[in-house]
Amino acid sequence: MSGGDEQQGGGAQAPPGWYPTPDGRTAWWDGTQWHLDAQPPTAAAPVPGVPSVPGTGQPGYGQPGYGQPGYGPPGYGAYGAYQPAMGPRAPYTNIKSLAGIVQALAVIVVACHGAAILVDIWRLSLLSDDASLTFDRLDTLDGADALAAIVGLVLGLAFLVNGVLFLVWRHRVQRNLGEALGVAYLEYTPGWSVGWWFVPFANLVKPKQAMNEAWTASSASEPPGTAGWRQRKAPPLLSWWWGFLMAGYLAGAFIGVAFGDASSGVYPSVSQLRANMMGSIVSSGFYIAAGVAFLKIVRGITDRVAERARVLGMGTE
């Protein structure tokens, strides 16, 4: 009776032998699958010819901490060699409930962007031309501006809370992979999977690369300690998400530089007000698209991590 699924894909595999599993047991690996019902010898000797990987940085990660000597992944010749568990391993953490909260808040953020688009369309209709700005229309415009401010406030609060909880979820995903689920040669530690979001310029690239790694490394078919997952590619969904997110950010930044801050109320003309609102509509549209992709990504990574935990005998969520 086998205790794991056959490895899928063409990734490198460890040779047959006795190996520690992420939950602290010793099991026989026959080259394609685990045999959890086999009895280990009294003292399992290392498998001859299998190189060990020195433990640098945090357990399960292929690099020392950022800023330490030797920062960077191991040489490509080391990929595919079995990496035994090194040091104490963290227990598996349930992330499904947290992911549900992150997704719910993301839905609120997307809904607020949709409401902002509708309010801006209404405001644009009230600013059809300079001559149409009667006192009644100005009063209506004041009401529309107040509604836009309320939507913006709710959006800002939801985005802030969602951002914090997303980073908590992100940290737990990476910790589960490297310290509980036996994924070897991870480039990003739990700390830096979060920290890269706050490093100027690097945060335009690194967070997306770390999300790619979380997706590919969470494959349930990859035996612990192997590096075949590094040959896989993340789905295009992650690139679409990042592209829409960056487009929304850049559109919003351009609006702020070109047309000023709407909250200041200082605009040289009605046409500039209209340009600001149209730019906001475009920016919100990109953010809505990014939000939809984000929902699918969080659900996908969460499900993949849970499935890997199930295959390794750590229970289901």
Least confidently predicted of 9-18, 46-55, 180-189: 46-55
Q: What is the mean pLDDT of residues 21-35?
A: 69
Q: Calculate the average pLDDT of the chain.
A: 78
Looking up tokens 């802030």 gives: 160
Alpha helices in 127-235 (DSSP H): 135-179, 190-195, 206-217
Does residue 198 surpass a pLDDT of 70?
yes
Buried b (16+ CB within 10 A) or exposed e, 97-110: ebbeebbebbebbb
Question: What confidence category does residue 252 fall into, taking pLDDT thresholds of 50, 70 and 90?
Answer: confident
In this structure, what DSSP letter does residue 197 have?
Answer: G
What is the Cα gyration radius of the chain?
Answer: 25
Tokens read off for 264: 């200041």
Q: Say how far apart CA 281 and CA 121 lie, in whole Å.
A: 8
Q: Would you say residue 277 has pLDDT above 80?
A: yes
pLDDT at 85: 43
d(CA 294, CA 287): 10
Q: What is the pLDDT of residue 182?
A: 87
CA–CA distance, 82 with 66 (Å, rounded to integer) = 24
Dump pLDDT digits (tens) for 140-167.
Answer: 878 888 999 999 999 999 999 999 999 9
Longest dimension (CA), the chain: 92
pLDDT at 175 over 90: yes
Mean pLDDT of 85-91: 54
Pairing of strands 17-20, 34-35: unpaired
Going by pLDDT thresholds of 50, 70 and 90, the confidence category of residue 71 is: very low
* 31/3 Cα distance (integer angstroms): 13
Q: Residue range 131-141: average pLDDT?
A: 66
DSSP E strand boundaries for the chain: 17-20, 26-29, 34-35
Neighbours of 311 (CB within 10 A): 18
- Helix, strand, coil content of the chain in percent (nearest 5): 55, 5, 40
Whole-number Å distance between alpha carbons of 17 and 36: 12
How many secondary structure helices (H) and strands (E) does the chain include?
Answer: 6, 3
Residue 254's pLDDT band (boundaries 50, 70, 90)? confident
C-beta of residue 276 within 8 angstroms of C-beta of residue 262: yes
225: left (phi over 0), alpha (psi -120 to 50) or beta: left
Tell me which of 140 and 171 has the higher pLDDT: 171
**Burial status of residue 198 (CB atoms within 10 A of its CB: 0-12, 13-18, 19 or more):** exposed
